[in-house]
Every structure is written in structure tokens, then in C-alpha cells.
Structure 1
Amino acid sequence: MKSIVIAEIGAAHGVRGEVRVKAHTADPLAIADYGPLHDSRGTIFRIKSLRHLKDDMLVVSFEGLTDRTAAEKLNRIKLHVERSALPPPDEEEFYYADLIGLAVETTAGEAIGTVVAVVNFGADDLLDVRRPGRASVYVPFTRAVVPTLDFEAGKAIIEPPDGLLDDPGEPDGEDAS
């Protein structure tokens, strides 16, 4: 079963075991609507109470968490829900987790690899595409570069910009002398 990260625990807040939580949902308070949350190791987190702090930041109290020392140990833990707990996306929408595992090919039909992650290093989202026997490549996740997502066929069709699929150290065809 596929799980989706919907929030991340931040710093402890106060002395009674509350933590700051950054929500990745459209409505930050909605993280309480999907049932128990879990981390990547399967530890269950049940929300006892939550309140809005600012923007996408919440202050959350989890069942069984009663002191600051224990709360501090949770910093940076990502909170997941099962994909099946989320509502179906609207037409023309999808969850980023649905991209993981898609085969990637060019508009010319050349097989490139498989999407293994969606990352963002501060600018735009990128598809991390693992290529068999070659270096992985980050594909800009824009409509121009990824014009087609075919979830039924399990494919992402890309129009790679010049040089995107070149391996590091590959000659670019210019005379180096």
C-alpha cells in the first residue's frame, strides 16, 4: 500500500509535549481528517489536539507525548497517511505520490527510466528519474518538459531540453582544442 507524506514535525513547542507541524495539505487543519498518521517505520501518531499557528504551521499535541524532551526527539519526522485515506483527486489533478513508479519515455518513444521521487530544492519541482545502467536525471516538472501524464498506461512522456539526458562527462560534440 502506498503512503503519502502530508506533514512534517518540527521543533518542540512549550514544555508539555506539543510540537510544531508543517502541513502539506491545502487546509493545514485537514491533517486530522485522515485518521492516525504514521512515520516511515510504522510508528502511529494520534492527534489529541491541534491549532493553527501561521500559514501552513500548526501546534499539535499527540496522544502519549507529554514532555518537551520527548517532543524534541520527533523533530524532522515525516507524517504519512495511506493513499487510500485521501479523497480521489479531481479531473486533471493527481497526487505527487501517484507519479512514483511511472515509466518515463520521450515523445519519440525512447524509454528513459522510472520516476523514483519528486523533489524540490527551492525552485521548481523535479522528477528524479532512475535510468538503468546510467546516471539518474532530474527532469523539470513543467508542462513544457512533461506534456503528458498517462496514469492508465503508467507513463510520463517527456520532451527533454537539449543536453538533459547526456551523461556527465559525455562529449557535447564540440572540439575541445
Structure 2
Amino acid sequence: MELVVGRVARSHGIRGELVVEIRTDEPELRFAVGTVLRGRKPKSAQTTEYTVTAAREHSGRLLLSVDGVVDRNTADELRGTLFVVDTADLPQGDDPDAFYDHELEGLAVRLVDGTALGTVTEVLHSAAGELLSVRAAGDGREILIPFVTDIVPEVSLADGVVVDPPDGLLDV
């Protein structure tokens, strides 16, 4: 299974730099000079390897240079490319309350009283924080649940997710 650690948003300048949306907690490790990245276009199984030749922060964004991309046209062709890593290659963390997105996806979600709510389909990362996208068991609608301890008091990879939503969160 693959985990997305970055996505090429667009090109920057005329020398082939890429603006990368970071989707990892360790960008300094994942995008270090000399690192070989595996990139693939969305909805494609084929990957291409890119070696990082330079990485820098600019106005809150990651600007990345990779071997073989030396001008704006070549960089534009990479727009939308996803940089991925194999989940088997990820280190196991020491924090029992830290999870990779792919570990949460597919977990059953229930209320504190045991009522089945649905299944986690995705973890969304927004400026306001992380949200669990849950497919409701009854009608299949999407429920967005803030992934904070007050609302999600329990997470177990074996037993699923327990939520204690405030009034109105689950209303249609």
C-alpha cells in the first residue's frame, strides 16, 4: 500500500522548480537533497523515480528541484504528480496516540453508547485541523468529524473509533 507524502501543485519560475503540497509530518526527511522520490500521476499505477537536487521553503511553501526537470515546461508536465512511499517502509512510532492516515481508513466508527455510526473513508487535512470523513452506516452520507480528543476519545486499530459528538454535529 502507498502513502502520499506530497503533491506537485504547479511549477515555480523558469528553472524547473516544483511547488509541492506537503502531506507528511517529516518534510525535512522525505524531501532531503539526495532522496529518491517515487512519483505517479493520479489514477495511474506507474511510478517514476526523481532524485531531489534542492529543496527550500519559500513563502510557506516547499520548492523542490529534481534531476531531469530543468525548465518550466518540464515542471508543468509534473503538475498533479503524487510523491508516494510504501507503507511497509514507514517506521513504527513510539506514540500510541499517533496514527498514519491509511491506518484509520476502513475502521468502524461507533458512538460512546456503542451505536454503529459508519466507517472512516478518509482523513482530511485542513487549515483548521484534521477531520475524519465517515460514511454513515444507514444512508451512506458523508459525516465530517473533527479529529480532536474531546470528540474522538478512543482510537484502536483493532476495535475502531469511538466518537462523542456535540449536539448537532450528526444532524443532516
Match of 2:168 in 1: 163
From 116, 126, 130, give the equivalent of 2:135. 130
Structure 2 alignment gaps of length 5 or more: none
Code of the aligned partner of 1:95: Y
TM-superposed deviation, 1:71? 0.7
User: Quick check: 1:6–1:79 contact (8 Å CA) kept in 2?
Assistant: yes
Match of 1:79 in 2: 83
Code of the aligned partner of 1:37: R
Q: Secondary structure at the match of 2:152?
A: coil
Q: Deviations over 1:6-47 (max 9, x none)?
A: 112133233343312233334423114775323342332322
TM-score, normalization by structure 2? 0.81
Query: In structure 2, how many angstroms separate the alpha carbons of the residues matched to 1:102 and 1:60?
Result: 35
Higher mean alpha-carbon deviation, 136-145 vs 65-74, is at 65-74
Aligned residues: 165
Higher mean alpha-carbon deviation, 59-68 vs 94-103, is at 59-68
Change (3 A) 1:15 1:127: same
Structure possessing the higher radius of gyration over alpha carbons = 1
Code of the aligned partner of 2:114: G
Counterparts in 2 of 1:81-160, with a 5 A limit?
81-92=85-96, 93-134=98-139, 135-153=141-159, 155-160=160-165
Query: In structure 2, how many angstroms separate the alpha carbons of the residues matched to 1:129 and 1:25?
Result: 22
Query: In structure 2, how many angstroms separate the alpha carbons of the residues matched to 1:122 and 1:48?
Result: 27
Q: Deviations over 1:113-147 (max 9, x none)?
A: 10001114432321100013412211111101100
User: Quick check: 1:22–1:56 contact (8 Å CA) kept in 2?
Assistant: no
TM-superposed deviation, 1:111? 0.8
Q: Secondary structure at the match of 2:84?
A: strand
Aligned Cα root-mean-square deviation (Å): 2.4
Query: In structure 1, how many angstroms separate the alpha carbons of the residues matched to 2:48 and 2:108?
Result: 32
Change (3 A) 1:22 1:121: closer
Q: Does 1:44 align with 2:48?
A: yes
Query: In structure 2, how many angstroms separate the alpha carbons of the residues matched to 1:55 and 1:148?
Result: 37
Q: Secondary structure at the match of 1:50?
A: strand
Query: In structure 2, how many angstroms separate the alpha carbons of the residues matched to 1:123 and 1:48?
Result: 30
Q: Does 1:9 align with 2:15?
A: no
Instruction: Please state which structure has a larger fraction of its residues in strand.
Output: 2
TM-score, normalization by structure 1? 0.79
Structure 1 alignment gaps of length 5 or more: 169-177
Query: In structure 1, how many angstroms separate the alpha carbons of the residues matched to 2:22 and 2:165?
Result: 33
